[in-house]
Structure 1
Amino acid sequence: MSQKVSRETLYDEVWADPVTEVAKRYGLSDVGLAKLCRTMGIPLPARGYWAKVRAGAKPQRTPLSTHGRYRQAASLTRLDPEAVKEKDEVRRRVRETRQVIEVPAGPIDRHPLVVAAGKRLAKGDVKLEKGVVSAPAEVLHVEVSRGSLDRALDLFNALILEFAKRGSAVEVDPEKKRTVLTIKGTRVELSLTERVRRKEHVDTPEETKAKERYWKLSHYARGEYPGTPRYDYLATGILTITAGRWPARSWNDTERTPLERRFPEVVSGLILLATEIREREEHQAREEERRRLAKERYARIMEQRKRERGLFEALETEATKWERATRLRAYVDAVEHAATLKGELTDELVDWIGWARAKADWLDPMIPVFDLILDAPEPEKPAYWW
């Protein structure tokens, strides 16, 4: 969960430990943290500062400016120290194995997924779309020209075999039209594409003649118009391996270095990317759990308030009824007393007094009384009135 980190706190951290160490705590690059410090007006140790510290010296800190124009705080996510250690360990292992990774040279058996992709994409019913062939819902996610297909499949084959040795697997997800590499339970989307150049289509002499013939025909003799594409797409042979969505990484052929020679970099990059994706997913899961608990707590409190309000309103209602019943009894007693003094306590008035006291008892919430008229069910209304 992100938290506000003040200028003073960040200043103390970057002068207590190297920027590279502090950056790891917040999941930032050292360049990113340095840029943030500049925007907040936080001075950084000069070159050679930490060498002096290791030598036992106590060099002076550059004081933090108190100028009010700088940002006073930044929203940062402090990573779990164990996650930082795990990431460092992954980087260490990747560095150790990077030098021994290479694309297999010469003929080699292809993985079944690669064989299936080769057969499917070589078929004539797979149409060229913007100069490339692709069928991600059926086979490996490859988008290349037919001329680059074999090379692309060789690269994919090398990736699949290399990660198979590491206990990881590649699979095709037909429903989502994705190719997925699973590294220690973390799914990383993979694709291999070719860069194509687009240019305005210029009609060939044959196409020009076909259009001229079309317009010379009578209206009734014309068939379908011999249309031509707006653009032509030219293969460049430059391939790119793309992994993940957010975060994502990509590697491509350069002028001096083809992907085959960047293979160790690709493999190590995929391992590190899987670690980043796993950290992000775990962070999102924690945030989702935090939101769920907060939502449940809110609902629980609101339900408690609603129940408490209902009980209080019921209390007020009963108190009001009791007060009304008490007032009625007092009034009936007063009527009876006055009639007695005047000698006017007739049988009719005695009946009324009994009726009134019964109604007061019916209204009193502390006396369980059933009124034959007021508590009886409402009679059914006749369908028609005459």
Structure 2
Amino acid sequence: MISRDELYKLVWSEPMTKVATRFDVSGSYLARMCTLLNVPRPERGYWAKLAVGKASAQPPLPAALPGDPLHWSKEGERLPVAKVEVPKPPVPSGKKPSIPRDCSHGLIRGAKAHFEKTRQIEEWDYLKPYKKLLVDVVTSREGLDRALSLANDLFNALESMGHRVVMAPTQESMRRVNVDTPSVDYWHHTRYWSPYRPTVVYVGSIAIGLIIFEYPETATLRYLNGKYVRDTVELERRHSRNSYRSWTTTRELPSGRFRIFAYSPYHSVSFSRTWDETKTASLRPKLKGIAQEIEAMAPKLAQDLEKARREAEVRHQQWLVEEDRRKREEDQKRIRQSEAESDADLRKIIGTWSEVVGVERFLAGVEQRAEQLSPDERLRVQDRLTLAREFLGTQDPLDFFLNWRTPVERYQPRYPENE
């Protein structure tokens, strides 16, 4: 893992190809990492110009913006996350922020074409684009232009107040709530499309999730010519007498009205706030106020995050104490078990020793009796004794005793006080 400061020093100390070789990557890949971490790098031909004293001045490393990655790891290890701080209240300038409506926000620019490349849906259903790294907008084809325009104006309003709107950084594990059940994260099943990463606005270092959602309403669909279409008064009058060829059903369909979600993308804190359009009131005139309300959420969210962090630390310390207690108990249990097994094994060896002594006494008695037999019979008995000893194997009790394992040989205590 390398920080952006370290990467900046490296790329200005030697050519990119040499730096890339250190990390076993290509020069073009390292250049993309410099772009991702907002690290300026030497232009083409810089080192040749430097050799003759004609190179341009080295630009300074720009300060990282909220949400910018601060580290890069080729191995994919977990990267440290910037500390969350309570944002300072803005200094009133005496001038109201203006919304540059003619400016297309970076997240909106080019998004329409990707939304229109959708999976197969009914003409009245929600879009489900193939591209998943998109601005968090959930809408129908008919409402797409209005949804993107509303998102663009909201993002511009927030950025005019000095708050950056971006897709959630990959190094920060942020959740995205479901638009139908805001208390449930995006792993829960939902009928709506969702992006790979949430769209967030940074108020200071605090991220707040944003979703533009064309919320549904109950509508009537009529089955005609093999498909469902929205029912109208004219269709109902025309087909009411032909119910065997046409029938109706109710579904939750896009309403043409929008809801703005603002929510906590942090797993440790849950909250969400919504603003809804109605048939008579649009959200567009309220965007300045909505942006100010979103800004005002950040201090409370920062406090909740700090409280959650302290509670998590307490739980972690309690877990460590409990884990230490469990390991000590397990250590004592293993010690008692090793002692019991060693004792049982020793008693078994003693019993085996007695048995071996009896066998040896039996074989010695047979051998003694064989001395009284004729030479042929004595030879026959001695051959059988030899076969018997080979069959029984070692009969030296000392071999059994040397194979016995003491309790410490069976298990080495992990805690000296348990020995």
TM-score (norm 1): 0.46
TM-score (norm 2): 0.44
Bigger proportion of residues as helix:
1
Please say which structure displays the higher CA radius of gyration: 1
